[in-house]
């Protein structure tokens, strides 16, 4: 049985964010359903889930843009549930950057400091430091229209961290970037977070993004948290069938009254024992080849093999095969939450 998704691990360091019994409804629609969560100081914490799962609403509740119908929000132990966004030690980075087009890059980064009444010399110095941190030193005099999408995202990040907030909230910040640039920015975000030491709370529907950057991940579904854990815990030991299917690709099989999951890369083609099946399709995907196999005992699985040199052509569509895996590579799961069963 997987870990109880409702269990919050004992904090190893001070807690920056506490959500207690958070519930948010819009009429009859339940957007967030009784969430309890603790996020540690300096943690890169990701809320992962499909559209409509409640992750962005939860982020907006932390920011103060939404008020919870029930529950309490604490920042560093202080109840901020009814405080407006501007009085919380939190900044937010959005997908659309929200830069002022008529201002220079430097003026954009300085804007929050100016609102706080910081004197011009200090504003300029701190803006330069923030731009250097995001590798945009010397760009202060340019206008946003002169920058690429990735550079504009860096400016938005610099503007958010220049205020030195306790918590930085990031709402799908890389969603508008192409794949290569998104992957580069994933590395950059992790580096920046490590340097500034600010608690990052990151919202995404991209599983690879979550696995790549996070210290811990909360997997959201239908307004609830299905599982909280490190990337390896969530990937290797999913709490239930939803997590197994949403975080990466996983095979779910029923054998002998036992329901378990096994990742495609843990399955091999065998000649000395295993389950018999027939290859339904072979999909070449560059670095790997994926094989869909119909099993004689029931069920369909995906097998992944690395293309170490030339693409493999030793297994073809329609071919009879034997697949095998080690028992220790399987993980027992439940189909639904126990409390949801009738």
Q: Could you give the CA distance from residue 105 to residue 138 in angstroms, rounded to a whole number? A: 10
Stretch (H or E) spanning 337: none
Domain residues of the chain, as ranges?
A: 15-236, 251-340
Burial (0-12, 13-18, 19+ Cβ within 10 Å), 19: buried
Structurally, at CATH architecture level, domain 15-236 sits in 3-Layer(aba) Sandwich (3.40)
DSSP 317: T
Global pTM reads: 0.86
Per-residue pLDDT, 338 = 45
Per-residue pLDDT, 185 = 86
Per-residue pLDDT, 334 = 73
Q: Could you give the CA distance from residue 121 to residue 35 in angstroms, rounded to a whole number? A: 44
**Tokens 């803006």 belong to residue:** 127
Per-residue pLDDT, 11 = 46
Divide the 342 residues of the chain into consecutive groups of 10 and give the mean pLDDT of each group: 46 83 95 96 96 95 96 96 94 85 93 88 92 92 91 91 92 84 87 91 94 96 96 92 90 90 93 92 90 95 84 80 93 63 38
Around Cβ 125, how many Cβ atoms within 10 Å? 11
21 with 34: CB under 8 angstroms? Answer: yes
Which among 204, 17, 169 has a CA at the least distance from the CA of 90? 169
Radius of gyration of the chain (CA): 23
Q: Could you give the CA distance from residue 285 to residue 305 in angstroms, rounded to a whole number? A: 10
303 with 229: CB under 8 angstroms? Answer: no
Fold match, 15-236 / 251-340: no
CATH number of 251-340: 2.40.50.140
Q: Could you give the CA distance from residue 263 to residue 325 in angstroms, rounded to a whole number? A: 10
Per-residue pLDDT, 256 = 85
Helix (H, G, I), strand (E, B) or coil at 205: coil
Strands across the sheet containing 331-332: 251-255, 258-262, 331-332
Q: Could you give the CA distance from residue 304 to residue 126 in angstroms, rounded to a whole number? A: 49
C-alpha pair distances (Å), 137 with each of 134, 142, 192: 8, 11, 15
């Amino acid at each position: 049985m997987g870990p109880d998704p409702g269990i919050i691990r004992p904090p190893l360091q001070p807690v920056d964010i506490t959500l207690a019994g958070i519930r948010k409804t819009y009429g009859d629609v339940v957007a967030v359903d009784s969430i309890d969560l603790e996020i540690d100081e300096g943690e890169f914490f990701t809320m992962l889930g499909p559209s409509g799962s409640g992750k962005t609403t939860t982020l907006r509740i932390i920011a103060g843009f939404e008020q919870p119908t029930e529950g309490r929000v604490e920042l560093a132990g202080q109840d901020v549930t009814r405080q407006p966004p501007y009085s919380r030690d939190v900044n937010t980075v959005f997908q659309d950057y929200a830069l002022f087009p008529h201002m220079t890059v430097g003026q954009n980064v300085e804007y929050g400091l100016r609102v706080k009444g910081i004197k011009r010399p200090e504003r300029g110095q701190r803006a330069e430091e923030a731009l250097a941190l995001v590798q945009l030193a010397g760009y202060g005099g340019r206008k946003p229209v002169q920058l690429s999408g990735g550079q504009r995202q860096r400016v938005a990040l610099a503007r958010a961290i220049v205020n030195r907030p306790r918590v930085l909230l990031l709402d799908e910040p890389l969603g508008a970037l192409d794949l290569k640039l998104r992957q580069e920015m994933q590395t950059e975000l992790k580096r920046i977070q490590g340097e500034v030491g600010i608690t990052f709370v990151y919202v995404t529907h991209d599983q690879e993004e979550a696995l790549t950057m996070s210290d811990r991940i909360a997997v959201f579904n239908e307004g609830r948290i299905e599982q909280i854990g490190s990337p390896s815990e969530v990937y290797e030991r999913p709490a239930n069938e939803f997590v197994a299917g949403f975080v990466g690709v996983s095979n779910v099989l029923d054998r002998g009254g036992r329901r378990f999951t096994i990742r495609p890369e843990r399955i091999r083609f065998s000649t000395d024992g295993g389950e018999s099946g027939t290859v339904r399709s072979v999909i070449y995907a560059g670095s790997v080849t994926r094989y869909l196999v119909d099993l004689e005992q029931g069920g369909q699985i995906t097998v992944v093999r690395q293309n170490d040199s030339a693409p493999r052509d030793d297994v073809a569509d329609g071919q009879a095969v034997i697949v095998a895996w080690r028992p220790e590579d399987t993980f027992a799961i439940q189909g639904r939450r126990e409390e949801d069963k009738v």
